[in-house]
Amino acid sequence: MKFADLHLHTQFSDGTFSPEELVAQARLHGLAAVALTDHDTVEGCARAAMASQTAGIEFIPGTELTAEQDGNELHVLGYCLDTQNPRLLAEIAHFQSVRQNRIREMVARLQALRVPLEAERVFALANCRSPGRPHVARALVEARLCANLDEAFERFLKKNRPAWVPKFKMSAASAIELIHQAGGLAVLAHPGLNHCDEIIPTIVDAGLDGIECFHTKHSVAASQHYLGIAGRFNLLVTGGSDCHGYSKGKPLIGSVRLPFEHVEKLRQRAAERNSEAVA
């Protein structure tokens, strides 16, 4: 049996592995295919593709966009996209500048709470265009202002905590359209974490292609539940670990093992879509 992990992050967003380290881990775990899904960027895809080719692993370029539907935050994964698509690159550049401003605002809130963190420290540590709350948390730990990442989120960074700043979110329909016009497929990430299944029919109508049934934080029952929804709405089935690097001693990569047939269906659907677009 061949398996894939289609939800992975690198240091181009809030993961800690380089693309090469990530692929080395994929090899160690015997994966046949991986997808890179960094938040609001596709920058790591070229290097990950090259490393995958050397390792004999299939590579799927991707990204993870933050969106909203009826007041709920959703993450939309884009797969098989053209990573050179001009509109995709222009829009993600805008999301990245919004992320950078949000970091400055979170740091200002921390300073107002007399937590002496500098934005420049967060940017230096993040060293990427798509910084997020995990980088603020790491900077707080590095400066010994928090004991660990959990404390940083619990005290300051979780939703409605004092340094939390709401994030700009496009509509789910806009995220799906942006992915489609770049030749990609749009997949709802970790629906089990969103607690808003009622919005699924609306985003299916907006063109959603698939649903992430298997995820580190989905129970067996949750995965079964979303497999049922995938069947009902004729959606592709995906899955991934959402690995961000070492987590409590070992990386999550490979802990979710998606049967390879789903990768084949994903590729087939992308090829059909793009041949329709050309015809």
Q: With the CA atoms of 193, 198, 200 and 206 taken in that order, what torsion angle do they form, in degrees rounded to the nearest 10?
A: -130
The residue (of 215 and 244) whose beta carbon lies closer to ligand AMP is 244
Please give the residue ranges that form the binding site for Fe ion (CB under 5 A).
Answer: 14, 75, 189
DSSP 149: H
**Among candidates 172, 169, 206, 205, which has minimal Cα distance to 191?**
172
**Residues between 94 and 123 with contacts to ligand AMP, criterion CB under 6 A:** none
CB neighbour class for 145 (10 Å; exposed up to 12, middle 13-18, buried from 19): middle
Query: Do 105 and 127 meet the contact criterion of CB atoms below 8 Å apart?
Result: no
Residue located via tokens 């985003």: 203
How many residues at the interface with ligand AMP, by CB under 6 A? 10
The angle that helices 172-181 and 86-112 make with each other, rounded to 10 degrees, is 140
Q: Which does 158 bind (CB under 5 to 8 A by kind): ligand AMP, Fe ion, Zn ion, none?
A: ligand AMP
The residue (of 58 and 242) whose beta carbon lies closer to Zn ion is 242
- The verdict on 242 binding Zn ion (CB under 5 A) reads yes
The residue (of 19 and 107) whose beta carbon lies closer to Zn ion is 19
Site string for ligand AMP, 248-277 (x = CB under 6 A): ------------------------------
Site string for ligand AMP, 147-176 (x = CB under 6 A): --x---x----x--------x---------
Q: Which does 153 bind (CB under 5 to 8 A by kind): Fe ion, Zn ion, ligand AMP, none?
A: ligand AMP
β strands within 39-191, DSSP E:
58-69, 72-79, 170-171, 185-188
Residues that bind ligand AMP (CB under 6 A): 14, 39, 132-134, 149, 153, 158, 167, 244
